[in-house]
Each structure stands twice: as C-alpha cells, then as structure tokens.
C-alpha cells in the first residue's frame, strides 16, 4: 500500500483546504525578485506622481472675490441663507441680461422698496423684495416663467425678482426706453404717468430721487473690473529649469503653462510641452 506521501502525490487535495500553489514556484521566478516586483508595483500605484511644490501651489484653486452683485447681497442681506443669496443673484443676472437692464438698477429698486426684506408688505398690499401688487404680478408671472400660486408666490425671493424684472422691462419698453419714466411708473403706475406726460413734462419724482441715490451708491461697485484669476508667474520662475521630467507630471505642467499668457511662458518649459 502506498504511504501518505504517495497518496498526496497521486491525488492532491481539492476544495478550500487544498494548498494554494505559490506564484514564484509556478512561474519559476526567484522569490527575492518576485517580492521586489510586488513592492515596486504597490509603490507605483499608491504614490501618484507629484510635481514640485511651486507648481502645486500655483495650481491650487483660487478663491475669487465675489461678483459686485453677490457682494452687495452679502452686505445688504447677511441674514439670508447663502444658497438663497446665490439663487437670487442668479435670477437677477439671468433676468437683467435677457432684457438688457442694469442689474445695479434692480438692486437700487430693491433697496428703495423693501431694503431686502423678502416678506415685506406695504399698506396697499405690495409684497416682497420688489414690492409687487398681486394683480400686476399675476399678469407677468407666465412671461417670467413663474407658476402663479397666488399672492404667496411673491414671498419667494427668486419668483419675486423674476416677475419684478419682467414688469420693469415691460415698463421700459412701454415708455420707449426712458428709464426715468419707467421707474416713476413702477411706483405710481403707468396710466398715471401717461396722463402726466400728456399734460406736461414729468419732473424727477421723489421716488426717482430715492432710487437714483441708491443707484449712485451702488455704481462704484459695478464699475470696478475684477482682474482675471490666473496662476502667479512668479511660481513658474521658482521652479528649477533642470528638474527632471520624472518628478513633474506632464499633464499638470501643461495645465500650468497653458494658463499663462504667451508672453509669460518660460522658454525652458517648452521642451517639456513638446514645443520647439
């Protein structure tokens, strides 16, 4: 009868208890070489290629200053939820751009009408940021892309802004592009302003003076052109031109150099980008 070793040789164990063949024996590779290759593979897959610190810092996302519109909302309505401010800013930008209206004018009217109180109500029943009368707002809601659900719709600041800008744009068009007349009609009603203009020249109303004062206070904020955000050229000069390509991620370097104006690109980086 064959002994145990002979039986193991003739009928190896199967199933979960069966011994697993060693990779180095199966491939007939020396164990030291196999372990070294596995170590290098783990290092290569777990340690991404890192660019020099100067390039990494230059490519960090830049925290840009808020736009003038958003800066005004942060200043005048600090108690709003940040998401509300962002959505109101988007609504003002989109609506004013569509109708070619100065966004500062809309902010000036909001300042005059409600001082950024979203649920403000006047004695005559005007509601919200732009103090719209429900009857008037209901007529312009569909044109503004807002579903009208009754007067409570105007307590929603985004809906209020969209309907209010739509109404203001209609007034400007009705008065042949005369913003002063349109602003007066926004407060006193278009029919009343029409009757006054039919009888005499319309002087600057008290309401117009208040809106103009608010607009003058806002105007400097919108006239300053923010500088475009781009990587600091000094960071490029800080990188040693002799640094080996093995330590610089080419896609990372491409992004950095291509973000610079052509006049500020260093010649010694062109070979790394495939240039002449």
Under the banding of pLDDT at 50, 70 and 90, the label for residue 276 is very low
**Which tokens hold the place of 179?**
């913003």
Q: Are residues 217 and 251 in the same domain?
A: no
8 belongs to a structural domain: no
Q: Are residues 74 and 186 in the same domain?
A: yes
The pLDDT of residue 169 is 97
Comparing 221 with 51, which gets the higher pLDDT?
221
Q: Are residues 40 and 72 in the same domain?
A: no
121 belongs to a structural domain: yes
Report how far apart, in Å, the C-alpha atoms of 243 and of each of 164, 240, 272 are: 59, 6, 11
| Phi–psi pair at 121, nearest 5 degrees | -135, 135
The pLDDT of residue 223 is 82
Residue 132 in this model has a pLDDT that exceeds 80: yes
Helices (H) and strands (E) in the chain, counts: 14, 0
253: enclosing H helix or E strand: helix 250-258
2 belongs to a structural domain: no
Q: What is the mean pLDDT of the chain?
A: 77
**132 forms bridges with which residues in the sheet?**
127
Query: Which residue numbers are catalytic?
Result: 113
Q: Are residues 188 and 268 in the same domain?
A: no
Residue 37 in this model has a pLDDT that exceeds 70: no
The pLDDT of residue 103 is 96
35 belongs to a structural domain: yes
The pLDDT of residue 202 is 87
Helices (H), 61-205: 68-76, 82-99, 103-113, 134-140, 157-174, 179-188, 190-199
What mean pLDDT do residues 37-54 have?
54
- Looking up residue 126, the CATH number of its domain turns out to be 1.10.530.10
What mean pLDDT do residues 2-10 have?
47
Residue whose pair of structure tokens reads 């939820």 in the numeric block: 81
The pLDDT of residue 84 is 95
What mean pLDDT do residues 163-177 have?
97
148 belongs to a structural domain: yes
Q: Are residues 140 and 191 in the same domain?
A: yes
Out of 72-86, 98-112, 182-196, 229-243, pick the least confident: 229-243
Q: Show the domain range for 239.
A: 53-63+229-273
Cα–Cα distance for residue pair 135/132, rounded to 1 Å: 9
């Amino acid at each position: 009868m064959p002994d145990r070793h002979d039986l193991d040789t003739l009928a190896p164990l199967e199933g979960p208890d069966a011994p697993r063949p060693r990779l180095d024996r199966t491939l007939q590779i020396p164990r030291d070489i196999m372990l070294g290759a596995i170590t290098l593979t783990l290092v290569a897959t777990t340690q991404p290629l890192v660019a020099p610190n100067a390039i990494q810092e230059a490519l960090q996302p830049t925290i840009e200053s808020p736009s003038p519109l958003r800066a005004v909302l942060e200043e005048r309505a600090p108690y709003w939820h940040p998401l509300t401010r962002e959505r109101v800013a988007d609504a003002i930008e989109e609506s004013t751009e569509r109708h070619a209206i100065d966004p500062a004018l809309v902010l000036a009217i909001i300042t005059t009408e409600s001082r950024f109180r979203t649920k403000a109500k006047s004695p005559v029943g005007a509601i919200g940021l732009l103090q719209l009368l429900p009857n008037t707002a209901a007529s312009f809601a569909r044109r503004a892309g807002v579903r009208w659900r009754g007067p409570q719709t105007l307590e929603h600041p985004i809906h209020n802004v969209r309907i209010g800008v739509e109404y203001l744009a209609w007034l400007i068009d009705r008065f042949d592009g005369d913003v002063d007349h349109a602003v007066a009609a926004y407060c006193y009603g278009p029919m009343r302003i029409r009757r006054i203009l039919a009888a005499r020249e319309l002087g600057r109303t008290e309401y117009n003076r208040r809106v103009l004062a608010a607009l003058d206070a806002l105007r400097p904020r919108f006239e300053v052109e923010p500088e475009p955000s781009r990587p600091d050229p000094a960071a490029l000069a800080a990188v040693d031109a002799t640094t080996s390509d093995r330590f610089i991620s080419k896609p990372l370097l491409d992004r950095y150099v291509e973000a610079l104006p052509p006049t500020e690109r260093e010649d010694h980086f062109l070979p790394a980008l495939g240039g002449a």
